[in-house]
Amino acid sequence: MSLESAVAVVTGAAEGMGRAIAWKLGSEGARVAICDRNRKGLEAAAGQMAEAGFQVLPRVCDVSESRQVEEFVSAVTAEWGGIQILVNNAGISKRNPILEPGDETWHEVLATNLTGVYYCTHRALPHFQDGGRIVHISSISGKVGSAEYSAYCASKHGVIGLTRALALELAPRGITVNAVCPGWVRTSMARRDLQETARLEGLTVEAMKRRILDGIPLGTMIRPEEVAGLVHFLVSPSGAAITGQAVDISAGEVMS
């Protein structure tokens, strides 16, 4: 599909991968609607895109809240009509050891990372044109386990299952549905996870980072712009024959 004047929706776009994805799609001529819970970051991202001459529509939205998602989608369609591209990027990561008391973290992570993807897709699809593109941002944690991150892993595995089911359901309309599975990406969320893991292991952050990089064949973390490039490929004409896939971008950390 041509991105020129296409309407693209990107969730969790205040920073990190979402911000890079929104910028990439905007730079290719798409009209980009962005949302995030972080008002300050969202306004900064939208301001930079507007200054660059991109068409951008920012809205504060928590994707785990059905009503807020409905209001966001309604604002997009009122402004620009139909939707051609949806990138479900919004997500959180929290440690939740299985014997830790309370269920709050489990419900919070699943509500954002999996139910939020469902809400956004379900609400956007009535406004989709045939031949549209949907990309869910999963994780390599959607393919492997991580001790004490059961909620995050379960949610990201769920995103891949949802991707495959929707790819079959929407194929008759020519709508492709794929998941992108990043490894360690240079984002604030990854930095917080790195800091917490280092604290629990009794290591400095730099020592923890070296241990992680030693386990990555290419010895590097991913740049948000590299994830954005993969998303762009999947929503471009070159990605028209790709659907139902969970595509790794992990510098070789996971190979599948």
User: What DSSP letter does each residue of 153-166 carry, written as one string?
Assistant: HHHHHHHHHHHHHH
Give catalytic status of residue 152 as yes or no.
Answer: yes
Residue 256 has what pLDDT?
79
pLDDT confidence of residue 193: 86
Domain that holds residue 131: 7-183+223-249
The predicted pLDDT at position 2 comes to: 77
The answer to whether residue 1 is domain-embedded is no
Is there a single domain that holds both residue 198 and residue 231? no
pLDDT for the residue numbered 251: 95
Task: Report how far residue 217's alpha carbon sits from residue 201's, in angstroms, rounded to the nearest whole number.
Answer: 22
Do 155 and 86 fall within a single domain? Answer: yes
Residue with token string 């309604």: 74
| Mean pLDDT per 10-residue segment, the chain (256 residues) | 90 97 98 98 98 98 98 98 97 94 96 98 95 97 95 98 98 98 91 87 90 94 97 97 98 92
Say how far apart CA 243 and CA 239 lie, in whole Å: 8
List the structure tokens of 56: 């951008």
Contact predicate 232/210, CB 8 Å: no
DSSP strand pairing (7-11 vs 31-36) = parallel
pLDDT for the residue numbered 197: 87
Q: CB 249: neighbour CB atoms within 10 A? A: 18
What secondary structure does DSSP assign to 32-59, as a single string?
A: EEEEES-HHHHHHHHHHHHHTT--EEEE
Task: Give the per-residue pLDDT at 189.
Answer: 85
Please answer whether residues 36 and 14 qualify as being in contact, where contact means their C-beta atoms are separated by less than 8 angstroms.
yes
Question: Does 198 lie in the same domain as 81?
Answer: no
30 with 75, same domain: the answer is: yes
Are 25 and 135 part of one and the same domain?
A: yes
The tokens of 126 are what?
């009535």
Residue 256 lies in a domain: no
Look at residue 201 in the predicted model and tell me its pLDDT: 86
Nearest CA to 122 among 154, 158, 88, 91? 88
Bridge-partner residues for 134, per DSSP?
86, 177
Out of 118, 119, 149, 152, the active site residue is: 152
As a whole number of angstroms, the distance between CA 186 and CA 209 comes to: 11
| Cα 50 to Cα 16, 23, 58, 125, distances in angstroms | 18, 10, 10, 27
Are residues 146 and 52 part of one domain?
A: yes
d(Cα 16, Cα 222) in Å, to the nearest integer? Answer: 11
As for how many domains the chain has, the answer is: 2
DSSP 141: G
pLDDT for 39: 97
In a domain, 255, yes or no: no
154 and 193 in a single domain? The answer is no
